[in-house]
Amino acid sequence: MEQYRKSDQYYIDEYDKKTIQELKELEKLMDEAEKQCQSNSDNLPDYLSKQIKYIDTGVSYARNKNQSVRENIAEDERKDQLLQKNPIPENVRCNTCNALMDFKSHDFIGHRNGPLIYFFSCPNNHLPMKTVYANGNPYLIPKATCTYCGGELVCKTRKTKMRLILTDKCQQCGKTDSFKINIAPKKILPIDENDRKKYCTDFIGRRTSYEDLKSLAALGELFDNQQEKDTYNFSQLKMLNIVQLEETLVEKLKEEGLQKFQFEKPKDSNRFLTVNFSAVDNKNREKTKSIKALKKIIETQLFHSNWRLMSPGISYNLAFLSGQLKGYSLEEDLLKIAREIHEKTLK
């Protein structure tokens, strides 16, 4: 029996192919609108809306990729499991001659999570074919009706080399409708890696137009803060990364008898970095004095920096000291620290 589950790369490629195809179509519309816009600026809104559509579609494809790929893999694995668990139903008989019918093929109804069904045909060529669920119960194919008068439709198929032509004829009003399905063997072309980069990879981590607007608005607020920044001498703030942070503290701590200063693995919350630290006091001080000594060094050494001691401060147990530091890097947070420095140095 055929295996539905394919290699992981297959699902990724399928997703990327769809992405590339759709974005190329949107890009074409966008480029045409841009040309229109160059000859007449009244067309600018149209061009902008097509540009937004292009970008947002790309961002949306990039964001949904992992989940969609996972779901498609899960669906194919589900199909394989169902086929493995369910043997082909036996004893399916023709309604006309009661002969045992021959198994023809199986299928799954609907797009996702649909039940497994099996097709059988009569060895004496009686119609219709039979469709049954895995438990042998008949599956009734919904009867197609005419959209015009509700009459019963009879479907005829015609096959050419390249296409399958299905024609529905209404038994009541005679209206016909035909669909063409392309059955020419599809050439499976490998993905052009330049296309993959442009339409798939480059959209990863990109913002939608709306998100861009929001960040523009935030930037506007920052400009408003410019004056404030000048007042608080923003540039005097020392930006320390985590290595520089350690260097700033470690020597000073040793001088004061606080040894074995070390960090645990930092945690990144996007907005700031927090890191637990510890040290041991080898001066045999009592708890409050020991905490005070460590706190003083941290607060003075880091006063002009982007790092702050977090509440509840420092804890102490049998000469082992620990606490948590928070490092800021966002401009609005740095502004607050600059303001704090300004206010405290004025006192």
Per-position x/- string for 38-77, each x denoting binding to Zn ion as judged by CB under 5 A, each - no binding: ----------------------------------------
Q: Give the binding range for Zn ion (CB under 5 A) out of 118-126, 134-142, 238-246, 256-264.
A: 118-126
- In a 3-state reduction of DSSP, which class is residue 156? strand
In this complex, which beta carbon is closest to Zn ion, that of residue 45 or of residue 174? 174
144 in Cβ contact with 166 (< 8 Å): no
Number of residues that bind Zn ion (CB under 5 A): 14
Among 170, 200, 335, 337, binds Zn ion (CB under 5 A): 170
The DSSP string of 126-151 is -SS-EEEETTS-B-PPPPPB-TTT-P
248 in Cβ contact with 305 (< 8 Å): yes
Closest distance to Zn ion from the beta carbon of 71 (Å): 39
Closest distance to Zn ion from the beta carbon of 64 (Å): 41
In this complex, which beta carbon is closest to Zn ion, that of residue 148 or of residue 210? 148
Among 74, 109, 162, 173, binds Zn ion (CB under 5 A): 173
Closest distance to Zn ion from the beta carbon of 193 (Å): 52
Closest distance to Zn ion from the beta carbon of 167 (Å): 14
Residue 319 to residues 250, 253, 267, 275, 293, Cα–Cα distance (Å): 17, 14, 26, 20, 12
Q: Which of residues 122-161 bind Zn ion (CB under 5 A)?
A: 122, 124, 126, 146, 148-149, 151
Determine whether 263 is exposed, middle or buried from the number of CB atoms within 10 Å of its CB (0-12, 13-18, 19+).
Answer: middle
In this complex, which beta carbon is closest to Zn ion, that of residue 28 or of residue 156? 156
Closest distance to Zn ion from the beta carbon of 133 (Å): 21
Q: What does DSSP say about strands 320-328 and 315-317: parallel, antiparallel, or unpaired?
A: antiparallel
Q: Output the CA torsion sign for 331, 337, 340, 341.
A: negative
Sheet containing 102-108: order of strands: 102-108, 116-121, 130-133
Q: Give the binding range for Zn ion (CB under 5 A) out of 11-19, 165-173, 229-237, 245-253.
A: 165-173
Closest distance to Zn ion from the beta carbon of 91 (Å): 14
Site membership for Zn ion, residue 179 (CB under 5 A): no
In this complex, which beta carbon is closest to Zn ion, that of residue 92 or of residue 302? 92
In this complex, which beta carbon is closest to Zn ion, that of residue 73 or of residue 101? 101
Find all residues with CB under 8 Å of 112, minimum gap 6, and list them: 71, 75
Closest alpha carbon to 309 in 332, 277, 280, 279: 277
Q: Give the binding range for Zn ion (CB under 5 A) out of 166-174, 215-223, 234-242, 314-322.
A: 166-174
In this complex, which beta carbon is closest to Zn ion, that of residue 53 or of residue 126? 126
Alpha carbons 65 and 15: distance in angstroms, whole number:
7
Q: Output the CA torsion sign for 287, 293, 294, 299.
A: positive
Residues comprising the chain, all counted = 347
In this complex, which beta carbon is closest to Zn ion, that of residue 115 or of residue 123? 123
Closest distance to Zn ion from the beta carbon of 102 (Å): 10
In this complex, which beta carbon is closest to Zn ion, that of residue 51 or of residue 121? 121
Site membership for Zn ion, residue 97 (CB under 5 A): yes
Closest alpha carbon to 65 in 102, 105, 122, 18: 18
Q: Give the binding range for Zn ion (CB under 5 A) out of 57-65, 105-113, 174-182, 204-212.
A: 174-182
Alpha carbons 251 and 230: distance in angstroms, whole number:
33
Judged by the rule CB under 5 A, the positions of this chain that interact with Zn ion are 94, 96-97, 122, 124, 126, 146, 148-149, 151, 170, 172-173, 175
